[in-house]
Structure 1
């Protein structure tokens, strides 16, 4: 295959770089910023894509963020690639504060007075929900009784409050990124156009000089 890596990375290295990219998240952020600036669409369209991507990181649909961001960008007539790139706003360094803010906002908006640790820690709820899901899938083939208690607790105490609570901070964060990105992208694109025009003018001048100095046939 043409695009196959020559150096096959071990699984542990792939997993490590997914959490901490080569060069760190600062370098990864600069790369994403550079790619966003170089997109050919108008600044407002790119910014709408950024809005969709950043907002998506405040939703609990982990594993589907690319799909959700692209769908929102399509509805908003934003740039799809910008939306996908902007989902990197959510990363191992930001997911914890995003989750805490979304959960606390969700409990406040829904008027839930329950202690979030009533049925165990957040990690335990994730583990029990996953175990329930696995056992219930197995029950299709084994005939064992199903038990949805862990998934029910996870939905009512984690997923639903997270989904509702992420809306407000998601809109605020995405709105800030939108209004900051429009002028920055516009300046970058105008500067890039100026550089390209200058290069084109220099090439034309060089060609004209070469044609003028060439001996006649």
Structure 2
């Protein structure tokens, strides 16, 4: 029922995930349009946006939707707005978000690694994934499990990212909250006015039609 009629190849789906059709500018306008059309009060919608934006500063990739929805529920915010708010994190923003979170986390935790020891974040991701794969196979073979690379990833990437993302995440989410409330309020007021004007025009047209029919 909800499947696409034209099934896209895997490479095309991945490409559109990184760069949507029409670009990220069009995607941002679509998200903005959907947020404005939500029926809840502006403050409730903005709390959902807060939850979604804040979640993008956490290292739980793949779980952002669930975390944002849960946080919005706790804050009594709009869950749909929270899901839309997670689009604040995208291929164009994840790199600066990660850099800010990592630098803040290393500063807060007082971590300082020598240049020769500090490897790229991407390489640490790859080596941590390799540890997980090798250790999974070790369960069924005689190989010895080795958690060294995963431990390095946790202490040098995941933990600093988690701690360091809290402050910039809250600051950014608060900015989005206070910017969203007046914008949503103005849009909803304008939309109610447009609906009312259309209703009055239809009522007037119907009255004129009834008047013309009675005169005949």
The TM-score, its normalising length taken from structure 1, stands at 0.95
Match in the other structure for 1:34: 33
Aligned length: 216
Match in the other structure for 2:11: 12
Match in the other structure for 2:56: 57
Does structure 2 retain, via aligned residues, the 8 Å contact 1:103–1:158? Answer: yes
CA positional deviation for 1:25: 0.5
- CA change 1:85–1:12 in 2 (3 A) is same
Task: Say whether residues 1:123 and 2:119 are aligned partners.
Answer: no
Distance 2:16 2:114 in 1: 36
Distance 1:115 1:34 in 2: 48
Distance 1:179 1:187 in 2: 13
Does structure 2 retain, via aligned residues, the 8 Å contact 1:53–1:84? Answer: yes
CA positional deviation for 1:94: 0.5
CA positional deviation for 1:100: 0.3
Deviations 1:124-173 (A, max 9, x none): 10011000111111222224211111110000000000000000000010
Match in the other structure for 2:194: 195
Q: Which moved more, 1:60-69 or 1:137-146?
A: 137-146
Distance 1:56 1:206 in 2: 50
Does structure 2 retain, via aligned residues, the 8 Å contact 1:55–1:170? Answer: yes
Match in the other structure for 1:147: 146
Distance 1:154 1:85 in 2: 30
Match in the other structure for 2:81: 82
- CA change 1:102–1:143 in 2 (3 A) is same
- CA change 1:138–1:83 in 2 (3 A) is same
Deviations 1:10-48 (A, max 9, x none): 111111001011111011001001100110000000000
CA RMSD of aligned residues (A): 1.5
Does structure 2 retain, via aligned residues, the 8 Å contact 1:36–1:85? Answer: yes
- CA change 1:117–1:203 in 2 (3 A) is farther
Name structure 2 gaps, 5 residues minimum.
none
Moved segments of 4+, more than 6 Å: none
Distance 2:30 2:167 in 1: 28
Task: Say whether residues 1:45 and 2:44 are aligned partners.
Answer: yes
CA positional deviation for 1:211: 1.9
- CA change 1:145–1:11 in 2 (3 A) is same
DSSP-derived class of the 2:108 partner? helix
Does structure 2 retain, via aligned residues, the 8 Å contact 1:119–1:125? Answer: no
